[in-house]
Amino acid sequence: MATTVVPPHAAFFGAKKEIGARSSFSPSISAHRCRKHFLNKVLAVMAPAQPSRAPATTGSVKHGMTMTEKILAKSSDKSKLEPGENIWVNIDVLMTHDVCGPGTIGIFKKEFGKNAKVWDREKIVIIPDHYIFTSDERANRNVDIIRDFALEQNIKYFYDIKDLSNFKVNPDYKGVCHVALAQEGHCRPGEVLLGTDSHTCNAGAFGQFATGIGNTDAGFVMGTGKLLLKVPPTMRFVLDGEMPHYLLAKDLILQIIGEITVAGATYKSMEFVGSTVESLNMEERMTLCNMVVEAGGKNGVVPPDETTFKYLEGKTSVNYEPVYSDESAKFISEYRFDVSKLEPVVAKPHSPDNRALARECKDVKIDRVYIGSCTGGKTEDFMAAAKVFLASGKKVKVPTFLVPATQKVWIDLYSLPVPGSGGKTCSQIFEEAGCDTPASPSCGACLGGPRDTYARMNEPMVCVSTTNRNFPGRMGHKEGQIYLASPYTAAASALTGYVTDPREFLP
């Protein structure tokens, strides 16, 4: 828990240390004042890392376990375990997609034999989503490979697509794997979910252990249903305060990554708690956990509650057992944020931790806006963007690409009324604002992909994007410049043609 020690380099949310004096909002407080006002204004506190004590020196382990430790203990049939232990864990769900599926299948067959059967045909979910709407022959072939395997193994959950010219005529096709996993009820509290994709940590929003693995590990799980995992220590992020109407979960996670850097959570679990987190809906919680990997994190977790259970109603018939961190659990560090004092932020090129206030980037001219991906292409993300366009009533100044994550999201865009719009749908508002027509659901240009991918950056340009990474070349061109942002900020930027704080439009 929080200590009374505030190190001189205590993290200050919102204000960068060097520009603290200029900021017009409150958290421009020096370390000295922070120590003095510590009890009244907790900005961010980092508990010094607890040195781990070998059990032999302390007798029985006297502290409780964190959520992540508990889930892993349960899944490895252990009553207790400590961070740092390497354990064999039973896997509840294994996910793979069209990019890593073929490689995983290749390894599975090589190691277990070409006639081997997967460990459980109901626990593997195969979701083509990455390179779908393309004429690239190898990409198309890769979907064929995973189809052949799904048929051969009688895989229960294979979200197939055959007709690439019209996604709507493919009844099984879903779209982006992480959103599909959630929407189809494969994410459940207390379980262990592994996927051949780094953003598998997205599912931690459901209070489960979810992380990304490579083809070899996945091939191993395919045959055995187990994997050797190292128990991570947990970093706790306490987010309290009423969420300002111009902030979204994306702002929160960009704030955090900017605080701890892209390696700040390497080999660690990130646990998100606090009143703000409790107020978030499931899609916002997913956005939070989705980018845990961008801080190097192994997994992210949000304690399950009524919001979680309500979301799961009707989606899954599998019984689940939520777990929660013990009162006496040990965390390796703790950060506290007063969310009511935060401002919209972006991650400037070329790193997700290159944090800056959106309003301080208002002179950055942009060439396009991209709203999509597992991180920022869910229904709530589009609703948020629509709110900004609605509030403005004007047209966008730059090409604005919209890529719904899944078929369900696409349908929502065309059917759900946007609050305060007098019954208009997102799609109508987007059309009136001059955005591109919402595209076929897939990962799209988030990671570039084959050259003919919709909205791929094929020339150097500046893009504001609701996606998750902005390393050089991420969306296609090596000299492209990507500003990661929330859907509010992305929509606001589309309206001005510059990186724009959404408060310019939101009342």
Residues 459-478 that bind another protein (CB under 8 A): 469, 471-474, 476, 478
Scan residues 124-163 and list those touching another protein (CB under 8 A). 130-131, 136, 138-139, 141-142, 145
Residue 46, amino acid = M
Question: Which of 72, 210, 213, 464 touches another protein (CB under 8 A)?
Answer: 213
Asked if residue 349 binds another protein (CB under 8 A), the reply is no
User: Which of these, 161, 157, 156, lies nearest to 173 by C-alpha position?
Assistant: 161
Considering the complex, state which of residue 276 and residue 481 has its C-beta at the smaller distance from another protein: 481
225 forms part of the interface with another protein (CB under 8 A): no
Residue in 42, 87, 116, 391 binding another protein, rule: CB under 8 A = 116
SS3 of residue 64 by DSSP: strand
Among 111, 305, 326, 431, binds another protein (CB under 8 A): 111
Which secondary structure element, helix H or strand E, spans residue 371, and what is its range? strand 368-372
CB-count burial class (<10 Å; 0-12, 13-18, 19+) for 113: exposed
Q: Kindly state the tokens that stand for 297.
A: 């994190």
Total residues interacting with another protein, rule: CB under 8 A:
59
Stretch in the footprint of another protein (CB under 8 A) among 55-63, 206-214, 309-317, 392-400: 206-214
Stretch touching another protein by CB under 8 A, among 64-72, 240-248, 441-449, 488-496:
441-449
Which token pair is 503?
Answer: 């408060």
Instruction: Give the contact letters, 350-379, x = binds to another protein (CB under 8 A), - = no.
Output: -x----------------------------
Give residue 222's Cα distance to chain centre.
25
- What's the count of helices (H) and strands (E) in the chain, helices before strands? 16, 17
Among 107, 235, 369, 463, which residue sits at the site for another protein (rule: CB under 8 A)? 107
The nearer residue to another protein, 55 or 214, going by C-beta atoms, is 214
The CA distance from 434 to 145, in Å, is 39
By beta-carbon proximity to another protein, the closer residue of 142 and 427 is: 142
Nearest to 214 by CA among 222, 206, 224: 222
Q: Kindly tell me which residue out of 1, 5, 49, 263 binds another protein, with binding defined by CB under 8 A.
A: 263
Q: Which residue stretches of 210-356 are H helix?
A: 215-224, 249-260, 275-279, 282-290, 306-312
Pick the binder of another protein from 83, 103, 487, 502 (CB under 8 A): 103
3-state secondary structure 208-238: CEEEECCHHHHHHHHHHCEEEEECCCEEEEE
Q: Work out the end-to-end distance of the chain between its first and last CA atoms, rounded to an integer number of angstroms.
A: 38
Residue 211's alpha-carbon distances to 66, 91, 129, 371, 501, in angstroms, are: 17, 11, 18, 24, 33
CA 2 to chain centre: 26
Cα–Cα distance, 252 to 241 (Å, whole number): 12
**Nearer to another protein by C-beta: 212 or 502?**
212
* Residue 267 sits in the site that holds another protein (CB under 8 A): yes
Q: How far is Cα 322 from Cα 309, in angstroms, rounded to an integer?
A: 10
Which of 15, 89, 99, 257 is the binder for another protein (CB under 8 A)?
99
Q: Is 226 in the site for another protein (CB under 8 A)?
A: yes
Q: Residues 401-430: x/- map of binding to another protein (CB under 8 A)?
A: ------------------------------
Q: Name the 3-class secondary structure at 271.
A: strand
Contact between 212 and another protein (CB under 8 A)? Answer: yes
* Minimum distance from residue 285 beta carbon to another protein (Å): 21
Task: Restricting to residues 296-325, name those near another protein by CB under 8 A.
Answer: 296, 298
Q: Which residues, in sequence order, are bridge partners of residue 158?
A: 126
Residue from 64, 223, 399, 497 touching another protein (CB under 8 A): that is 223
Report the candidate in 214, 326, 209 with the shortest Cα–Cα distance to residue 269: 209
| CB closer to another protein, 241 vs 473 | 473
In the complex, the residues that contact another protein under the rule CB under 8 A are 86, 88, 99-100, 102-103, 105-107, 110-113, 116, 130-131, 136, 138-139, 141-142, 145, 196-198, 200, 212-217, 220, 223-224, 226, 228, 230, 262-263, 266-267, 293, 296, 298, 351, 447-451, 469, 471-474, 476, 478-479
